[in-house]
Structure 1
Amino acid sequence: MAVELFLQILKAESIFGKYPLCITTSDIVIDSDDVDADDMTIECYDFVDPYELAVAVVDNVESLPIVNVGGEELISDFYNSVVKVNQKYKNKDTFVSVMPMSCCANRRNVVEYSRRPQHATIAFVAGITASKLVNYKRIITPSDIIEDIKRELGLDIDYMKAWRAKESALKMLRGRPADGYKKMPTYVYMLNSIYPNSHIRMHKSPDNQFMYLFVALQPFIRGFGYYRPIVVVDDNHMRGPYQGTFVSASILDGAGHILPLAYGVVDSENNLSWMWFFQQFKCAFSERNNMCVVSDRHESIIKAVSVIYPCIPLFACIWHLWKNVCTNYRKSKDKLTGEFFAMAKAYKLDDFDELMCKVGKIDNRVKAYLENVGFEKWSRVHAPINRGRMVTSNIAECINSCLVEAREMSILDFFEQVRILFGVWNRKNRDRSSFLSKKSLGGRFQQILQLNEAKSSRMMIRESTNYIYDVYEEGRKYIIRLDNRTYNCGRFQLDEIPCEHAIVVLKSKHVKEMKSYYSDYYKKETLVKTYEMSLCPMPDKQDWHVPPEVFEDVLLPPKYKRPLGRPKKGRKKISEKFSSTSNHCGKCGYEGHNRRTCNYFLKKM
């Protein structure tokens, strides 16, 4: 009723709006006939409750210095210079105007008054923190947020409020994780539009839930045909609320740089997911001669490769194999480190057998374990095809390490960050290949060639025929045959780069151009062709134009129940073949007993 009365008076006289309005919630009816709009006077009513204020409108009268409302005196004079204890002011503006007057009149420097303590809400802290979380690689912890709020605003917040503020800020920047799955059909459509002739497949369950996604872009498919087909595969777990596993396949180019081939996300590391991944990989890249796969010896990868590629050998990463040895034979790991890696990288069979005899003398159990695995799985000299220098899965681990922070993002943003990372690598490798001279090799292999040239200056040679030479190095003789390019040191056959023994022979024959003696994989022409097709950028999400049927495609996030407790940030790596659940003996390394009851070594009398 009071509001209706105010509106009626305001229609009659607009100047009425400058006066303060006091509205009561009491059920009192004021008849509009009692209001005289001409003299702008409203009669005051006496209320029973002293805290309820009446409306007072004074026409043609200046503001009173003291207003009596509800039995209490309120100061409204802006020029009042007398400030006393327990004074009450009409409003905040009056108080702000009076305090400087009082300070000047009484020569005071500081005026103290009570103030209600302030608290920072979660939304307020999230708004301040959001700008610092735009870069997903920047690590901001709740402790950092607590320090920033204390330093900038002088407010104290607890750890839980800082953590919730960070989660709220991330939600404002990235949206809900489930929204990323809804936009995946649109993202797949845009990838096919920007990169035609690519192989991009997405698989979902009968309930329209996301299961697998495979991405092999056309620039990577084109570059695969120019290099040795040694494919390294690996996986890594996602950290989002719906988990999942990131899988990738890559090779090395002629300069020793990583060339990604395919990547994707599957539900978990199991037989079905790896089987589906290798099926899509075979559709995109087919099968080449002398092709092989290097992995960490996971059982699902072994089974998938044996089914999809029955004629392709599967090699083990020597680093993961050595971790198994360290886990199960801890007593001998310090003594066998150098021998193991020397065996894996040996060029000659005689050198390998000599090192294996040393391993058997140190710990025969390790020798039996390596024989059980199979020498052809991890030794370069026993491999049925030429593995080159690819004896580990480090290039796949390098990809995983570059995407550690991105794995916490939604699936759509994660795939976009992977594409951006590979695009940056593609551009850098293309620039490096364009600056190479025609006589030099690519990056890493040019350094190997220069090192071999430096070693060749200390060797002696003796010519047997026009194509057969004897090379002497530190009392040892090597036979070099230039006609069929076979050297008994074994390095040229595996590396396909002239070794130091071949270089000293070629220099004696005054051969300055050695381009015909190393593989085409390392030449500039091959590098230029590999990165001839660039990885074009994706348009902004607001500029994505897709047909209506793509919008209507329903994709739901996978079912996932978040485990109890704090999410684990680190990855606990365990051996792929054996599990270490019981105690080991400190003397022999066997399980089931300790040092006191060990009878493996004979006691000294």
Structure 2
Amino acid sequence: MAGNRVIAICQSGGVFETNDDGFLVYKGGDARAMEIDNRMCYKDLKMELSEMFSFSLDTVVIKYFLPSNKKTLITISNDKDLKRMIEFHSDSVTAEIYVITEEVIAPDVSNRPGSRSSRTTLSEEDVPMGAPSILDDVEDDINRPDLMLDANFCVVDDNVNNACCPTELSLEQPVPVPISFMKSYDERLAKSSQQWQNNITGVGQRFNSVHDFREALRKFAIANQFAFKYKKNDSHRVTVKCKVEGCPWRIHASRLSTTQLICIKKMNPTHTCEGSVLTNGHHATRSWVASIIKDKLRVFPNYKPKDIVSDIKQEYGIQLNYYQAWRGKEIAKEQLQGSYKEAYNQLPVFFEKIMERNPGSLATFATKEDSSFHRLFVAFHASLYGFEQGCRPLLFLNSIFLKSKYQGTLLAATAADGNDEVFPVAFAVVDAETDDNWHWFLQQLKTALSVSHGITFVSDRGKGLRESIADIFQNEGVYHGYCLHYLSEQLIRDLKGQFSHEVKRLLIEDLYAAAYAPTPEGFRGVLENIRSISPEAYNWVQRNEPARWANAFFQGSRYNHMTSNFGELFYSWASDADELPITQMVDAIRGKITELIYNRQTESNQWPTRLTPVMEGKLEKESMKVHSLQVVVSANNKYEVRGETIEIVDVDNSDCSCNGWQLSGIPCCHAVYVISCLHRDVYDYCARYFTTENYRLTYSEYINPIQNIERPNQKNASQGAVVTPPPTRRPPGRPTTKKTGRRDVVKRQLQCSRCRGKGHNKSTCKELLLDG
């Protein structure tokens, strides 16, 4: 599939048939093709399909299969469903969709389960065409002359008093469903388990192991709606009987000598009880739940336990509790992803292979004295090379909390490429965000970089991080700028007076304006605005090191990037992968970086301009301002440019007194005018980081994949290291929601509508007001 576009093979008029392996196959009918993408809405798709197959718009139902599941039909019923379908087929050129019409009006059953969203598996409306349904039962009984259906859903025989029944049944009204058919309907709800009805065939049947026999027995009981209990259950023999006392149903199986095979030796297949309909999860062990939901969890990683409970009830007629569903999901995740515990022990071999497959990379980890995981660091050669060759010497440091089984924090260093987009450089996973872990991260980063002179770091102003940068890069000419976002939060927290929401908003706006002001005069002008609102805020700004965050005084080059949360795209990747085992999480991030490099390299090959699109736009914006300017030649090859202000431009030193050229790396309007008057090419005076050629250099290296990561033999592990999970584990219960990125730190304050006072409302007002 190219981009977010897919060719849909639209089929209608055929029937679904079930193969021996349980897969659905669509046979017959007509097929058409059309192209769909993320911009198409559900309403337009439905209208186009109804015209394509000459169906009434109201009767069209659209369904599809997931790429790896031909047993479950998924319904498209809104725009989100359609976008999900396109997403699921992102690796395919085509997607098959089935257009079905609903011509029959369903019975109006008050206790029938409601319609299900497209995320669930096959529902009652999804029964393959040609398969029996409850409507067939209703029609069969309607044709019986000796039965009538009353409005209270009762089955009444002609020979019995039927005073409660209507004398005539109008087929124009909804057809009521008889009570006698409700059990049949409940059985339809468990249609997914019907494939297991013959799992146990009788004496002589053999199974590969005791486990296989138990699984077959469990599914057999679920499909046939009865419960059993074990009389004997060990590694070589199993005896079970019906759970209903007095029922003779019984099976005895034992191991065949000299083999691992289990054979049924005795069986009484007769039930004298009516069967014990499964209304709880007696036979639904966590391993069984895992086996049922595993395929769906592969496609829907966020499959929730409450949805698992609902789906198992509808599809198999078994009522689980929340804990059974949660445990089943945890086991299924381990089966799909591998063991969380073993993943830590794979780190030595995994990191060896990273560096072996990607020479020039740095991948290292550290453990505590008890061999438990402490921290890891990864910087791929492609990222290091791209940063050093193509990006500005500007790094943003930030962190996010990980919601993995063993918790932890991700520390990251990201850069800005020539098109002002995030470029991942290095990351670490640590057991907690501490000063010591930041210090270790920066040490590894310095080791990974071939040159660190002149780099500007942008981060919060935490004491540990500030001291670590100063200590590790003390002789490297490195600068440390404070994140403006964290400063604005701190300003609001430190103000002691009661300020309204609007006043706090104005203070934050002025703080940002002061930070972006290119000259000291501009900074002081904004500072006076802050003083007029709050002398306390004015004093706070002066005390908090403007030289670390204000353009007018900062010695490094921030290129107008004032916050450290620039790498939000990268943090979203980590958030999407943080519930994977540790090695898979690292590999998932590697895959995202690889994809980013490929996509941007491919995209940039189509650019016709000398600068990247974003920088081309900035240069064009400056060029449009020159029409009102005048140039006067000054001494020493400097030029005086007159407009709204008078600025001095030094072309040879790429300098303008407005400071705009130095701050951005793109010639300001004054410089553009002087350069054009000198008949020179303005592109020659743009920073090299912004050229298309340099951008392509940033994304010129690839990251090679790491394959065949297996559990290492502890005796032969190349590093001789055994790594165990960290002692901290995710606490029980729902995790608290922590938003990343910019947050609104200003909370609206109550204002009384009676006395206009702050901090209370009219109902709690205690002020005495004079009449008149």
TM-score greater than 0.5 by the shorter chain: yes
Tell me which residue corresponds to 1:22: none
Counterpart check, 1:260 vs 2:420? no
Structure 2 residue 341 is matched with structure 1 residue 147: no
Q: Which residue of 2 aligns with 1:12?
A: none
For the residue of structure 2 that corresponds to 1:480, the secondary structure is strand
1:205 aligns with 2:368: yes
The alignment partner of 2:538 has SS state of: helix
Deviation at 1:125, TM superposition (A): 3.1
Superposition map of 1:81-230 within 5 A: 114-118=274-278, 119-120=280-281, 121=284, 122-135=286-299, 138-226=301-389, 227-230=391-394
- Per-residue deviation, 1:408: 1.7
Deviation at 1:348, TM superposition (A): 1.8
> Contact (CA 8 Å) 1:461, 1:469: kept in 2 or not?
no
* 1:32-73 Cα deviation digits (max 9, x unpaired): xxxxxxxxxxxxxxxxxx9999xxxxxxxxxxxxxxxxxxxx
Structure 1 residue 573 displacement after superposition: 8.2
Task: Say whether residues 1:247 and 2:411 are aligned partners.
Answer: yes
Match of 1:316?
482
1:357 aligns with 2:528: yes
Distance in 1 between the 2:542 and 2:294 partners?
A: 56
Is the 8 Å Cα contact of residues 274 and 301 (structure 1) preserved in structure 2? yes
1:270 aligns with 2:434: yes
Quick one: percent identity of the two aligned structures? 23
The 5 A counterparts of 1:63-78 are none
The residue number in structure 2 matching 1:541 is: 709
Classify 1:417/1:218 alpha carbon distance in 2 versus 1 (closer, same or farther; 3 Å). same
CA contact (8 A) 1:230 1:390 kept: no
Q: CA deviation at 1:459?
A: 2.2
Instruction: State the shift of 1:423 in Å.
Output: 1.2
State the 1:324 CA deviation: 1.6
Q: 1:488 matched to which residue of 2?
A: 657
Q: 2:348–2:721: 8 Å Cα contact kept in structure 1?
A: yes
Unaligned runs of 5+ in 2: 1-202, 205-230, 232-245, 250-267, 752-757, 761-768
| 2:670 corresponding residue in structure 1 | 501
Per the TM alignment, residue 356 of structure 1 is displaced from its structure 2 partner at its CA by 0.7
Paired position in structure 1 for 2:210:
none
Partners of 2:741 and 2:576 lie apart in 1 by 22
In 1: Cα distance, 2:709 partner to 2:699 partner: 27
Asked if structure 2 preserves the Cα contact closer than 8 Å seen for 1:406 and 1:414, the reply is yes
The answer on whether the counterparts of 1:186 and 1:546 sit within 8 Å (CA) in structure 2 is: no
Question: Is this contact kept in 2: 1:233–1:250, CA < 8 A?
Answer: yes
Instruction: Output the CA distance in 2 between the equivalents of 1:489 and 1:468.
Output: 14
Q: Which has the larger radius of gyration?
A: 1
Residue 433 of structure 1 is matched in structure 2 by 604
State the alpha-carbon separation in 1 of the partners of residues 712 and 616 from structure 2: 44
Q: C-alpha separation between the residues in 1 aligned to 2:274 and 2:726?
A: 55
Greater percentage in strand: 2
2:692 to 524, 539, 546: 524
**Does the aligned pair in 1 maintain the 2:649–2:656 contact within 8 Å?**
yes
Indicate if the aligned counterparts of 1:234 and 1:397 stay in contact, CA closer than 8 A. Answer: no
TM-score, length basis structure 2: 0.57
Deviation at 1:154?
4.9
| Aligned with 1:335 (options 503, 506, 525) | 506
Which amino acid in the other structure matches residue 201 of structure 1? T
Task: Give the counterpart of 2:588 among 403, 413, 417.
Answer: 417
Q: Does 1:560 align with 2:728?
A: yes
Distance 1:544 1:506, change over 3 A: farther
Helix, strand or coil: the match of 2:414?
A: strand
Confirm or deny: 8 A CA contact 1:459 1:504 kept in the other structure: no
**What amino acid sits opposite 1:268 in the alignment?**
A
- Preserved contact between residue 568 and residue 741 of structure 2 (Cα < 8 Å): no
Residue type of the alignment partner of 2:508: T
Residue deviations 1:356-377 (CA, integer Å, cap 9, x gap) = 1111111122222222220011
On the 8 A contact 2:641/2:670 being kept in 1, the answer is yes
Structure-2 change in CA distance of 1:384 and 1:238 (3 Å): same
How far 1:499 moved relative to its partner? 1.8
The secondary structure found in structure 2 opposite 1:225 is helix
Residue matched to 2:9: none
SS of 1:265's partner is strand
Q: In 2, distance between residues paired with 1:158 and 1:305? A: 52
Distance 1:299 1:132 in 2: 47
Deviation at 1:518, TM superposition (A): 0.6
Evaluate the alpha carbon distance shift between residue 140 and residue 326 of structure 1 in structure 2; reply closer, same or farther with a 3 A threshold. Answer: farther
CA distance in 1, matches of 2:628, 2:274: 91
- More off after superposition, 525-534 vs 187-196: 525-534
Unaligned segments of structure 1, at least 5 residues: 1-5, 8-24, 26-49, 54-89, 96-112, 588-593, 597-603
In 2 relative to 1, CA 263–232 (structure 1 residues): closer, same or farther, beyond 3 Å? same
CA 1:406–1:509: 2 relative to 1, 3 Å: same
Distance 1:400 1:297 in 2: 20
- Whether the aligned pair in 2 keeps the contact of 1:462 and 1:471 (CA below 8 Å) is yes
- Alpha-carbon contact 2:460-2:482 (below 8 Å) kept: yes
Structure 1 CA distance, aligned partners of 2:310 and 2:368? 46
Distance 1:453 1:161 in 2: 66
1:452 to 2:452 alignment: no
Distance 2:567 2:697 in 1: 23
How far off its partner does 1:586 sit? 7.4
Report the CA distance between 1:448 and its aligned residue.
1.3
Q: Distance in 2 between matches of 1:584 and 1:133?
A: 42
Deviation, 1:114, is 4.4
More helix per residue: 1
SS of 1:571's partner is coil
Q: Secondary structure at the residue paired with 1:234?
A: strand
Which structure has the higher relative contact order (CA within 8 Å, separation 6+)? 1
Which amino acid is 2:398 matched to?
D
Q: d(CA) in 2 for partners of 1:163 and 1:549?
A: 35
The secondary structure found in structure 1 opposite 2:410 is strand
Q: Is the 8 A contact 2:398 2:565 kept in 1?
A: no
In 2, the alpha carbon distance for the partners of 1:165 and 1:51 equals 31
